[in-house]
């Protein structure tokens, strides 16, 4: 939430070497950067499969109504 408010993207600490397969990705390594962030995605992974994904957006960026797919079960 602070990233949406302040525009400061925190770094990945202790990042020393980038995998060549990820050369095209924009990685924030060791030093924070400032950007106009409108939408962010946070992946939280834990032991035992307790995982969560959180998507946050500034007001007015996403559509007000999103059609959800029907449950296929």
Structure pTM? 0.69
Q: How many helices (H) and strands (E) does the chain have?
A: 1, 4
Whether 41 contacts 62, CB under 8 Å: no
Query: How would DSSP label each residue in 9-72?
Result: EPPBTT-----GGGTTS---BSS-EE----EEEEEE--GGG--EEEEEE-TTSS-S--PPPPP-
- pLDDT value of residue 22: 86
- pLDDT value of residue 53: 93
- When pLDDT is cut at 50, 70 and 90, the band that residue 71 belongs to is low
Alpha helices in the chain (DSSP H): 2-6
- Taking 70 as the threshold, does the pLDDT of residue 73 lie above it? no
């Amino acid at each position: 939430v602070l990233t949406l408010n302040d525009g400061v993207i925190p770094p990945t600490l202790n990042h020393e070497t980038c995998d060549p397969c990820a050369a095209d990705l924009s990685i924030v390594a060791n030093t924070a950067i400032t950007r106009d962030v409108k939408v962010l995605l946070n992946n939280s992974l834990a032991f035992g499969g307790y995982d969560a994904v959180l998507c946050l957006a500034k007001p007015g960026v996403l559509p007000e109504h999103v059609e959800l797919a029907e449950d296929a079960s």
